[in-house]
Amino acid sequence: MAYLADQGYKVAPFKVGPDFIDPGHHTTIAGKTSFNLDSWMLSKEYNTRIFNENTKGSDIAVVEGVMGLFDGLSEAGSTAQMAKWLDLPVVLIVSAKGKARSAAAIVQGLENFDKDLKIAGVIFTKTGSVRHYDYLKKAVEQNCRTKCLGFMPRNDSIVMPGRHLGLVMADELDIGKNVLSTLTSMVKDHIDMKGLINCLDAVESTGSSETAISGFPGEQGPTIAVARDKAFCFYYQDNLDILKKFGAKIVEFSPLKDDRLPQNIDGIYFGGGYPEVFARELSQKTNLLQEIKGKSISGLPIYGECGGFMFLCNKLSSMNETQKHSMSGCFDLNVQMSKRLRSLGYREITLKQDTIIGEKGDVLRGHEFHYSSLENDDSTISNVYHVTSRAGQDISLKGYQVSNTLGSYLHIHFGSNEGCAKQFVDTCKEFKDKKNKNVI
């Protein structure tokens, strides 16, 4: 993406799968919002529309896959399925570390596993030398149909720092001109980008944008405050766009920097992120924490997922401390961090009763990924979720609702059921109308 942008191409970036970190880096490098595509959470029609809408005005689209080409319990959710749904060619990326002719066996296996896929070529990474690449290229040319596009030599200085939820976010990591210059030079010097681009077919973007119309013609819709900073940074762009589609006005604030909530709001959305990394700083925002709890008690619609849910709880331990820090206390639950992964996977949610994001019986899809757990599970708090895995097995995870405050470890994609986003906007509008009536 950096090379293409450097060459003057307008790049439309996308990421397959439930990921918030990679799209952040895409957006920084391409200068255009990166959108998630997902064939398990979202329908083929939805993915096609999102792709078409967000390639308009661009010269080239780059879709980063998820895990290996065919990885998943089934084809659903895989990179391969998305490539077929969108009729896009695949560039294979194969590590050459410790390999010679066996690399050709990997390429041959990938090209034969699903012959409905279009493969544009293979790029080898972590090659030791030009001579090493020549061995790889010769083996592929003798045994495979796939074209060799070049290689990326091993460079130990190009390392992305990581933490417990994956790589560091784009907001925290300044990739820097030197690193990008090194990467683009490596692409320019070692990969046949001209050959790759020339073999690509033109794609006509036929989608029409749906950003437009307020769900409340003739009157102002509700204002929803969205927590956005280094502690709260996990949002699907679609979720925010769908809320706006149904008439919500979005205003952002920073729980790390701000001492008060934005004025005249009718709802709050706390996305995921890293509140445990900033637990001490967040606990010192006593006025903000008290205001959030007060708003919750007053019935203001508040939705929190994963890190946002943790922030709505009573106590939270930071990553490297046994000390627990006070959070907003909307839920009388305490969160304990762990050094090991507690849960990961796709999830389907059926609402057990009416909530601020849907009515009883509504079904949504999302994913779960966290390193923390609840120390105390207060059974007096309503559990409004029935959760199953992608295989249909029951999951013990809960969705907690107190008054109009809803929280859970689940990251929900509103694109899986847009009516649930509408329900949240409508609930915020009801609160707004009630508030204005009381003022009058």
User: What are φ and ψ of residue 379, in 5° steps?
Assistant: -70, -10
Q: What does the radius of gyration of the chain's CA atoms come to, in whole angstroms?
A: 23
Return the sign of the alpha-carbon dihedral for residues 174, 177, 180, 182: negative
Contacts for 336 with CB less than 8 Å, ≥ 6 apart:
317, 372, 373, 374, 375
The verdict on whether 306 is a catalytic residue reads: yes
- Rounded CA gap, 300 and 294, in Å? 9
How many Å apart are CA 346 and CA 285, to the nearest integer?
Answer: 34
- Residue 368 structure tokens: 């779960």
Q: How far apart are CA 336 and CA 279, in angstroms?
A: 12
Whole-angstrom distance, CA of residue 382 vs CA of residue 193: 56
Adjacency order of strands within the sheet including 223-227: 249-253, 223-227, 267-270, 302-305, 405-408, 399-402, 382-383
Which one of the listed residues 306, 313, 330, 428 is annotated catalytic? Answer: 306
User: Could you list the active site residues?
Assistant: 306
